[in-house]
Chains A and B, each alone.
Chain A
């Protein structure tokens, strides 16, 4: 059974249709990169899979939780879907450890000791075990983003979504975040990432999806997609660079 099953999803903002019938399947342990120009709908698709944006038609199913236009089943689905944003969005009033322990405790009802253990494991996974007591404001952007990843991991999600997580970072800080993501992939996490880091997508993603004008324009194993693009649009996109 696939972890994520997206069928015929349509999404409009007012009169503008940004997703025009998207089908997508993610199997357990797969890492899927979504690339495309800004405005192609790739971030919107990711946000729909977490229910942050409602959909007008079609359905989204994540490990058995079905989400449709009615918006029911949202919280159950979100327990199994982690998302990391471009702008970290840590809770500034909580220390790093508390940031990570909060949702397992209040949402999953996990005990304090176990929440702490989860948080420590998650922090170790992103290489920040020693920053448990730090305040978010005292961390670099790259460290904050890794804490944000740990915060999602502590929920033990079935799939992790990454929405341009390195776009707000200085170039010298993107490396540490990408390395963290690569380690997650190696550890078998199912991942769906919207990214501008083409080299990273080509190396780490098992599949890459090229989105264009609200549709899945081209999809295939990353090596083939980047090595032998089939459509003129993808060729042009890869040829003209990253934007």
Chain B
């Protein structure tokens, strides 16, 4: 039975964005935590830790997000526990985010002038104190713009989890399209919803970046 693309279909699609947003938020929190550890390891004084983190980043950045999703999905269910798909989805997105955020934050930490390490060491600060009071506060300012920019990538990539049955935006579009056969209206609505979420974030990232560059050259 073919339904028409009416207001209720439209609302169904738009409302499903809440799962997209929730998934983004969950993976940002979990991935951010992991990514922070990756960034610290990547800038550690211990060579094995640095290599491990570099290997993690290089590996995750060489794997399709779709594969991370399948591996999380089947990996988690291998223990025999039936996980709700949203768990596997969040885990895979967090793993994906940890590599990219880890790399962004490594760059931010390393772009703090090395003399700041020296000056704080000369004041007898421990490595942890150097990070906490001197290096990270400066690195955060540098990291904000690219981190916000990455959130756009994260939002878009959550569309992939539709394949394991999480009814977020893309999956909602598919369901409605199968019932209405109005692909332009359906996927136009889906695309517009993504755009309305992503575009302001992109603009914000660009403005933050411009402000940072202005401060640096000023």
Complex Cα distance, B134 from A91, in Å, reads 7
Complex Cα distance, B126 from A93, in Å, reads 19
Q: Is the CB of A52 within 8 A of B123?
A: no
User: Which of B113, B124, B132 is the one whose CB lies under 8 Å from A78?
Assistant: B124
Complex Cα distance, B118 from A155, in Å, reads 16
Number of residues from A at the complex interface, CB < 8 A: 24
Q: Is the CB of A103 within 8 A of B138?
A: no
Complex Cα distance, B123 from A89, in Å, reads 12
- Kindly supply a per-residue 1/0 record for chain B positions 112-156, scoring 1 wherever the CB is within 8 Å of any chain A CB and 0 otherwise: 010110111111111001001110011001000000000000000
User: Which of B113, B122, B141 is the one whose CB lies under 8 Å from A83?
Assistant: B122
Knowing A102-B133, A106-B133, the reply to whether A89 touches B126 (Cβ < 8 A) is no
Q: Is the CB of A85 within 8 A of B119?
A: yes
Which residues from chain B contact A82 at a C-beta distance below 8 Å? 122
Q: Is the CB of B116 within 8 A of A52?
A: no
Number of residues from B at the complex interface, CB < 8 A: 19
User: Which of A85, A87, A107, A151 is the one whose CB lies under 8 Å from B124?
Assistant: A107
Q: Is the CB of A87 within 8 A of B115?
A: yes
Q: Is the CB of B137 within 8 A of A103?
A: no
Complex Cα distance, B119 from A93, in Å, reads 14
Interface residues of A in 25-78 (CB under 8 A from B): 50, 52, 75-76, 78
Knowing A75-B126, A87-B115, A107-B129, the reply to whether A93 touches B137 (Cβ < 8 A) is yes
Q: Is the CB of B123 within 8 A of A92?
A: no
Determine whether A79 belongs to the interface, using a CB cutoff of 8 Å to chain B: yes
Which residues from chain B contact A90 at a C-beta distance below 8 Å? 119
Which residues from chain A contact B129 at a C-beta distance below 8 Å? 106-107
Q: Is the CB of A103 within 8 A of B125?
A: yes
Q: Is the CB of A93 within 8 A of B141?
A: yes
Knowing A52-B118, A85-B115, the reply to whether A106 touches B125 (Cβ < 8 A) is yes
Knowing A85-B115, A91-B116, A93-B138, the reply to whether A50 touches B122 (Cβ < 8 A) is yes
Q: Is the CB of B115 within 8 A of A155?
A: no
Q: Is the CB of A103 within 8 A of B118?
A: no
Knowing A93-B137, A93-B141, the reply to whether A78 touches B118 (Cβ < 8 A) is no
Interface residues of A in 106-147 (CB under 8 A from B): 106-107
Q: Is the CB of B124 within 8 A of A79?
A: yes
Which residues from chain B contact A89 at a C-beta distance below 8 Å? 113, 115-116, 118-119
- Tell me the smallest distance from the CB of A69 to a CB of chain B, in Å: 18
Which residues from chain B contact A148 at a C-beta distance below 8 Å? 119
Q: Is the CB of B134 within 8 A of A75?
A: no
User: Which of B122, B124, B132, B138 is the one whose CB lies under 8 Å from A92?
Assistant: B138
Complex Cα distance, B76 from A93, in Å, reads 44
Which residues from chain B contact A78 at a C-beta distance below 8 Å? 121-124
Q: Which residues of A contact B (CB under 8 A)?
A: 50, 52, 75-76, 78-79, 81-83, 85, 87, 89-93, 102-103, 106-107, 148, 151-152, 155
Q: A85-B118, A89-B119, A103-B125 are in contact. List 13 more A-B contacts (CB 8 A).
A: A52-B118, A52-B121, A75-B126, A79-B124, A85-B119, A85-B122, A89-B113, A103-B120, A106-B129, A106-B133, A107-B129, A155-B123, A155-B124
Q: List 16 A-B contacts (CB under 8 A).
A: A52-B118, A52-B121, A52-B122, A78-B121, A78-B122, A82-B122, A85-B118, A89-B113, A91-B116, A91-B119, A91-B120, A91-B134, A106-B129, A106-B132, A107-B125, A152-B122
